[in-house]
Amino acid sequence: MVVQLKKIRINWGFFKTVQSKVTINHNHNYFTKYLYIWLMKQKIKPKIISQIMQKITVIGAGNVGATVANVIAHKNLAKEVVLVDIKEGTAEGKALDIWQSAPINHFNTRVTGVTNDYLATKGSGVIVITSGIPRKPGMSRDDLIKTNAAIVKEVTEKATKYSPDAIIIIVSNPLDVMTYAAYLAANKPSSKVFGMAGTLDTGRYRAFIANALNVDPIDVHALLMGGHGDTMVPLPRYTSVNGIPVTELLGKEELDKIVERTKKGGGELVNLMGTSAWYAPGAAAAQIVEAIVDDQNRVLPVCAMLNGEYGLKNVYLGVPCKIGKNGIEEIIKIALNKEEQALLNTSAQAVRELMKSLDDMKLFE
């Protein structure tokens, strides 16, 4: 369980104190017991805000998948994290490495690695899918979609066989269409199948603004919508620094540069490292998992199926959503001006073309 208190500040080990709130991690049961007794003596009744999830599965033990598992374990979001990969020994080795850091970093979520053993994932409350291959030289867009959609289809079907009620979060690329592929394979409501990209893109955007202003990135609040990539829709009107509109702190030219850098954020890292990013994508996926596990009702931008919202239907697109124990609890509708709506429509059309390419491949018949 997670216990949240108000009007008290305690600077003890295992406590995360933010302003006037204290969160007690559910897995420090021995510690929670004695704290609860002490609080009752002080006539402070703690409020239980969530229960621990038994198991979370991360499919794909590459850099991103391993980072997701690592962050989830460090946050003690479940009793067990199962890391699955197709390559013999990869998931087992990375899971063992993460688990050996538990005594050092004070967490006790068990981390297990398996090779194609989906029985080990049985009973998962959340499944994070990172599987897929990067685009190779000479590979067409449709070739990449077909290859990765087949992978996502296979792992989704195998995982949901043993965890039919799990909420599915997609990290695989091309993200918008891979989320659609998982939705087709999972045979469950779209509120329980959605993609991570908006949370990552917004994180990058906020980080760049924090750099430009030399402020704490936690104080930067922002929103991006649309597809993951060049067609994402910037919303400076909904961007602020601790309540101050960013347009009062940065000029249009500098903001435009930050937006363009955000659109190409993934490519910038590939150019620097020769491979895709993993720390920020992994942390973004884990943040969504945390919102589900702790039923936080956090407003996060995710890739969701639209059914009339923003005048768009039957398309997966990045929009702000309330994320809680049931997955997408609500798609939040914000007011867009004509220019912003036009950009969102253009982004939706680009995603629709990818979705149509997948439909034409007839992988799901």
How much is the average pLDDT of 212-235? 93
- More confidently predicted of 353 and 12: 353
Q: Please tell me the least confidently modeled range out of 183-192, 258-267, 295-304, 345-354.
A: 258-267
Specify whether the CB–CB gap between 364 and 153 falls below 8 A.
Answer: yes
Q: What pLDDT shows up at residue 276?
A: 87
CA angle at 280 for the pair 225 and 84, rounded to the nearest 5°: 105
**133 φ, ψ to 5°?**
-115, 150
Q: What pLDDT shows up at residue 34?
A: 60
* CATH 3.90.110.10 domain locations along the chain: 198-361
3-state DSSP call for residue 288?
helix
Q: Would you call the peptide bond into 174 cis, given omega within 30 degrees of 0 as the criterion?
A: yes
pLDDT tens sequence across 305-324: 999 999 999 999 999 999 99
Q: What pLDDT shows up at residue 33?
A: 55
pLDDT tens sequence across 264-295: 998 899 899 988 899 999 999 999 999 999 99
Q: Which residue blocks in 214-337 are alpha helix, DSSP H? A: 252-263, 265-273, 279-293
Q: What pLDDT shows up at residue 11?
A: 40
Residue 20 reports pLDDT greater than 50: no
Q: Which residue blocks in the chain are alpha helix, DSSP H? A: 29-41, 63-74, 90-99, 102-105, 141-162, 175-186, 197-213, 252-263, 265-273, 279-293, 338-361
pLDDT tens sequence across 33-70: 566 667 666 666 665 544 579 999 999 999 999 999 99
Q: What pLDDT shows up at residue 46?
A: 60
% of the chain surpassing 70 pLDDT = 86
Burial classification of residue 243, based on how many CB atoms lie within 10 Å of its CB (0-12 exposed, 13-18 middle, 19 or more buried): exposed
What is the spatial order of strands in the sheet that 240-241 belongs to?
A: 220-221, 240-241, 244-245
Residue 150 reports pLDDT greater than 80: yes
Highest CATH level, class, for 198-361: alpha beta
Q: How confident is the model at residue 32 (pLDDT cuts 50, 70, 90)?
A: low
Residue 259 reports pLDDT greater than 60: yes
How much is the average pLDDT of 339-358? 96
* Domain 53-197 in CATH 3.40.50.720: yes
Q: What pLDDT shows up at residue 6?
A: 40
Average pLDDT, rounded, for the chain: 89
28, 74, 106, 228: the catalytic one is 228
Instruction: State how far the Cα of 287 lies from the Cα of 301, in Å rounded to an integer.
Output: 11
Instruction: State how far the Cα of 35 lies from the Cα of 131, in Å rounded to an integer.
Output: 41
**127 φ, ψ to 5°?**
-125, 125
Q: Tell me, what DSSP letter sits at residue 32?
A: H
Is 74 among the residues known to form the active site? no
Specify whether the CB–CB gap between 131 and 59 falls below 8 A.
Answer: yes
pLDDT tens sequence across 73-109: 999 999 999 999 999 999 999 999 999 999 999 999 9
CA proximity to 109, closest of 24, 3, 16, 27: 27
How much is the average pLDDT of 150-174? 97
* CATH 3.40.50.720 domain locations along the chain: 53-197
Locate 270 and state its tokens.
């590939």
Q: Please report where in the chains the tokens 């990539």 appear, as a residue.
A: 229
